[in-house]
Structure 1
Amino acid sequence: MGKPTGFMEYERQDKPAESPKERIKHFREFHTPLSKEEQERQGARCMACGVPFCQAGQMIMGMASGCPLHNLVPEWNDLIYHGNWEEAYYRLKKTNNFPEFTSRVCPALCEAACTCGLNGNAVSSKANEYSIIENAYEKGYAAARPVKVRTGKKVAVVGSGPSGLAVADMLNRRGHSVTVFEREDKVGGLLRYGIPNMKLEKQYIDRKVNIMEEEGIIFVTNCNIGKDKKASSILKEFDRVVLCCGASHPRDIKAPGRDAKGIYFAVDFLKSTTKALWANDMKLVDGTYISAKGKHVIVIGGGDTGNDCIGTSMRHGAKSVLQVEMMPKAPDTRADNNPWPEWPKVCKTDYGQEEAAAVFGHDPRVYQTTVKEFIKDKEGNLCKVTLVKLEPKKDEKTGRMMMTEIPGTEYTVQADLVLIAAGFLGSEEYVTKAFGVEVNARTNVATPAGEYHTNVERVFTAGDMHRGQSLVVWAIREGREAAQEIDVSLMGYTNMNVQ
């Protein structure tokens, strides 16, 4: 695949990013695509390795190594190297329903497992994927392709995040009639209201949704199944129902003063900005969103959502930003006990953290720290936060390592706005109760291992609601696999190939 000596002849090039101080002036995507000629050279770096770990998508030491969708990465790298961009698109679409999303928001598990990365720099496969899909839209390859024969079977998909969209896309291609129900005002779920514009501009969601509508999928927004419409009526109207409602129950922080004004869940903060931008022609109008302007911001949580809160706060014009992380700082390079092709457990400085460091002169993160108390003023507004340092200790009962407070290490910092980005606990109870599906100890919808049917006849599930909070690429894989299982239950067989 690619040019046999390409990885030795060409250096890795990735899409260049706008400087941090410039990109915080807007909410647009800030990477500039490489030229087609340069992208073809990057395809040449794919080194014809004997075992393409990039597409393996297997679990090694509890972590995913390679693409969970089993994308045919070496094949489309080779195709773009040879200038065959149309065929590269068809090979990409064979395994990935939504490369327009993953090429923007995926952490590139394929690159972390790339053989070139063992002794050098990985192939820039994520940028190659981006160029393939955007070229396909430009040239018309990605246009709608309505199915010609319908099966007469009807499927309801509850939730329009990446798993719900994947289920809908696969079942519609098969010829089943699919209706997607979304409780928000617009389709996209996590893609629209959980991921900020800087990473995924919303017109790209609409571009794909419009194509899916042309292909026959019906989208019903502002319809909250379990509240606005009864589960029983859905089960009467449709042959199968798929619950893809996400892990939308945010984990809270239980500390004194939690009722102070100025404390929000990250998802509510990010959603308010996205909605305000959409309503006001990509401009923020005071009073229409939760604002960080001129405020001392504390973000609780060190993951991707916490970083998105930092990036959004920087664009608002925050006075200061502090990100609180319970766990110790990861090493800057791979440890000896974390060899390739395992996922690299190293410290990652993402775009929001880069921006805060550029403006304020230091990394915004503090590690092994948690909130001990939220302090209010006389009007009940948040004004300060007391933090405390943590250390790992083994729990005597369970034997697990736990992060515990270090006495005497408390300190107080100014805070006008706290954003809780501590993850999600699982599905929302009103949905699972409405359909009568069983949940596990983590409140995810329970199914047999490796399967997607629930304890309720004709009801299936997929995505974060099923596996817990995870990546967009995993949600798409779950949607594809669930669609295959649903197809078998409807038709007695399937001709879908989701691997």
Structure 2
Amino acid sequence: MLKFVTVDRDMPTKRDADQRNKDFNEIYAAYAEAKAEEQASRCSQCGVPYCQSHCPLHNNIPDWLRLTATGRLEEAYAVSQATNTFPEICGRICPQDRLCEGNCVIEQSGHGTVTIGAVEKYITDTAWEEGWVKPVTPQTERPESVGIIGAGPGGLAAADMLRREGVQVTVYDRYDRAGGLLTYGIPGFKLEKDVVMRRNEQLEAGGVKFKMNCEIGKDISFEEIRNAHDAVIIATGVYKSRDLQGPGSGAQGIVKAIDYLTASNRLSFGDTVPEIDSGELNAEGKKVVVIGGGDTAMDCVRTAIRQGAESVKCLYRRDRANMPGSQRETQNAEEEGVVFEWLAAPNGFTGDPVNGVKVQRMRLGQPDASGRQSPEVIEGADYVEEADLVIKALGFEPEDLPTLWNQPELEVTRWGTVKAAFTTGATDMDGVYAVGDIVRGASLVVWAIRDGRDCAEAILKRFENAKAIAAE
């Protein structure tokens, strides 16, 4: 270990932009064994591991780096899996530059961070190849059952934890494939879909029951689910797209990011997608403008490039330093041909079908309540950006679950998120819990996994307490 003073940081090889922007395969190659060991050996094994404390799951990162560096890869996988239900997914899509790697001690000292995410991905991909990843096999079956609404990362993490303890688990989801945004929201060039599908298959092989194409409030009521189980977890995520008002905002050719990404991902599964065939959600040959500066916007611009767009521009009202998305993803997008228009905000649209976006030039003023500088309009600096397809990637909000599910007693916050304890996910409704984005608002996959695991632990304690009371 401690080789950071003699060994430079070295990421896995990234495919050339003019090659990778023509397909939806992941852009990074895998480490070879020797390279993974070399990069893991750069870890300083510091006494206070800031990488671990800044990871929402508090993964034992220094431990599995040391095990990887010394060739004990199966043990490294066991340590990694102990705190993270989906390490190969987090290794691919976590914004490590803002979490573990961004707080690496040797990064702070100028030596370049340990490539934690790439090593994490290598460990678990190797575990799958070697057959170390086994279906969940509880030692004893328990009589209690839990219904989980939503097959995204939070719900699946809870399902995994509960099933390992022998709890009977049923997952309900509106889509035809489990995985939530992992399946239909994140493009294949960041997360290839077989990576998600094999986890779904592992859970199903371990006894988790999936009821797909099942929409709560239509195909089954919330009360029916609640009556069928000893506890219920709400893990629906947030799917309501934030809208953009202004003259011409209802024109044909202005679409939501979630619809656009879902259509593209369905096509990658081999599904027939009429919206792609008709051109409605297809960027081929078009001048595309994406509005937003988060990770979803980065997914959209990079998808549009791969669909064969004539040009792709991203409008964001702040500057590069203040954008919420990953800097790594922004760099990848620029390499692939995306043009970023910083300090630019839409003020309306021209044509129907749309043929342009009215844009206001902005400048950054005084910091707002969050500490970020507020964008201010520069008067007289408006212009029109040509566009045949406009994609709104302005973030997501929670759906009105109390109304949709006819559950007025389900308490929500002023933002519409379900009101639940962050440590356990417990709501004020007895036996009902909530985890992930439906509690936090739009957030990271790693936080949803953390919430799901914490909630599962709280439910297991509830069952044990109930058993102890019954025995008295």
**Is the structural similarity TM-score above 0.5?**
yes
The match for 1:474 among 434, 447, 452 is 447
The SS at the match of 1:192 is: helix
Distance 2:276 2:417 in 1: 38
Q: TM-score, normalised by structure 2?
A: 0.92
The match for 2:349 among 364, 374, 383 is 374
- 1:107 paired with 2:95, answer yes
Q: Higher mean Cα deviation, 80-89 or 393-402?
A: 393-402
Letter in 2 for 1:88: A
Q: Kindly indicate whether the alpha-carbon contact (under 8 Å) linking 1:432 and 1:438 is maintained by their aligned counterparts in 2.
A: no
The SS at the match of 1:242 is: strand
- 1:406 paired with 2:385, answer no
How far 1:353 moved relative to its partner? 2.9
Letter in 2 for 1:80: T
How far 1:116 moved relative to its partner? 1.1
Distance 1:277 1:398 in 2: 39
Relative distance call for 1:396 and 1:367 in structure 2 (3 A) is closer
Q: Kindly indicate whether the alpha-carbon contact (under 8 Å) linking 2:222 and 2:405 is maintained by their aligned counterparts in 1.
A: no
Describe the superposition over 1:278-329 as per-residue Cα deviations: whole angstroms up to 9, x where unpaired: 12599x9733871001111110001111111111000111111110111123
Letter in 2 for 1:273: S
Distance 1:295 1:349 in 2: 21
Q: What's the % identity of the aligned pairs? A: 35
The SS at the match of 2:277 is: coil
Relative distance call for 1:281 and 1:51 in structure 2 (3 A) is farther
Alignment of 1:35-184 (within 5 A): 35-56=32-53, 66-108=54-96, 109-118=99-108, 119-184=110-175
Letter in 2 for 1:123: V
How far 1:148 moved relative to its partner? 2.8
Q: Kindly indicate whether the alpha-carbon contact (under 8 Å) linking 2:288 and 2:311 is maintained by their aligned counterparts in 1.
A: yes
The match for 2:16 among 16, 19, 22 is 19
Q: Kindly indicate whether the alpha-carbon contact (under 8 Å) linking 1:230 and 1:434 is maintained by their aligned counterparts in 2.
A: no
Relative distance call for 1:53 and 1:210 in structure 2 (3 A) is same
How far 1:493 moved relative to its partner? 8.4
Q: Higher mean Cα deviation, 348-357 or 222-231?
A: 348-357
Q: Kindly indicate whether the alpha-carbon contact (under 8 Å) linking 1:307 and 1:350 is maintained by their aligned counterparts in 2.
A: no
Distance 2:378 2:445 in 1: 37
How far 1:391 moved relative to its partner? 2.9
Distance 1:259 1:266 in 2: 15
Letter in 1 for 2:251: A
How far 1:401 moved relative to its partner? 5.7
Q: Kindly indicate whether the alpha-carbon contact (under 8 Å) linking 1:160 and 1:180 is maintained by their aligned counterparts in 2.
A: yes
Q: Kindly indicate whether the alpha-carbon contact (under 8 Å) linking 1:20 and 1:354 is maintained by their aligned counterparts in 2.
A: yes
User: Which residue matches 1:338?
Assistant: none
Q: Which runs of 5+ in 1 are unaligned?
A: 57-65, 333-342, 358-363, 495-499
Alignment of 1:282-431 (within 5 A): 286-287=277-278, 290-330=281-321, 349-357=330-338, 364-376=339-351, 380-393=352-365, 402-429=374-401, 430-431=403-404
Distance 1:233 1:22 in 2: 51
User: Which residue matches 1:450?
Assistant: 423
Describe the superposition over 1:176-225 as per-residue Cα deviations: whole angstroms up to 9, x where unpaired: 10000110111110101110011111111111111111111011110011
Letter in 2 for 1:39: A
Q: Kindly indicate whether the alpha-carbon contact (under 8 Å) linking 1:391 and 1:404 is maintained by their aligned counterparts in 2.
A: yes
How far 1:145 moved relative to its partner? 3.5
Relative distance call for 1:319 and 1:103 in structure 2 (3 A) is same
Distance 1:314 1:23 in 2: 10
Letter in 2 for 1:302: G
Distance 2:361 2:446 in 1: 35
Distance 2:122 2:372 in 1: 45
Distance 1:306 1:395 in 2: 24
Q: Kindly indicate whether the alpha-carbon contact (under 8 Å) linking 2:171 and 2:209 is maintained by their aligned counterparts in 1.
A: yes
Once superposed, what is the RMSD of the aligned Cα atoms? 2.6
How far 1:120 moved relative to its partner? 1.6
Q: Kindly indicate whether the alpha-carbon contact (under 8 Å) linking 2:147 and 2:170 is maintained by their aligned counterparts in 1.
A: yes
Q: Higher mean Cα deviation, 288-297 or 236-245?
A: 288-297
Q: Kindly indicate whether the alpha-carbon contact (under 8 Å) linking 1:310 and 1:321 is maintained by their aligned counterparts in 2.
A: yes
Q: TM-score, normalised by structure 1?
A: 0.87
How far 1:396 moved relative to its partner? 11
Relative distance call for 1:223 and 1:309 in structure 2 (3 A) is same
Runs in 1 of length 4+ with deviation above 6 angstroms? 343-348, 395-400
How far 1:127 moved relative to its partner? 1.0
Relative distance call for 1:403 and 1:214 in structure 2 (3 A) is same
Q: Which runs of 5+ in 2 are unaligned?
A: 468-472
The SS at the match of 2:330 is: coil
How far 1:450 moved relative to its partner? 3.5
The SS at the match of 1:391 is: strand
Q: Kindly indicate whether the alpha-carbon contact (under 8 Å) linking 2:422 and 2:451 is maintained by their aligned counterparts in 1.
A: no
Distance 1:52 1:398 in 2: 28
Letter in 2 for 1:366: E
Distance 2:208 2:280 in 1: 32
Q: Kindly indicate whether the alpha-carbon contact (under 8 Å) linking 1:146 and 1:214 is maintained by their aligned counterparts in 2.
A: no
How far 1:398 moved relative to its partner? 12
The SS at the match of 1:279 is: coil
Distance 2:291 2:199 in 1: 34
The SS at the match of 1:492 is: helix
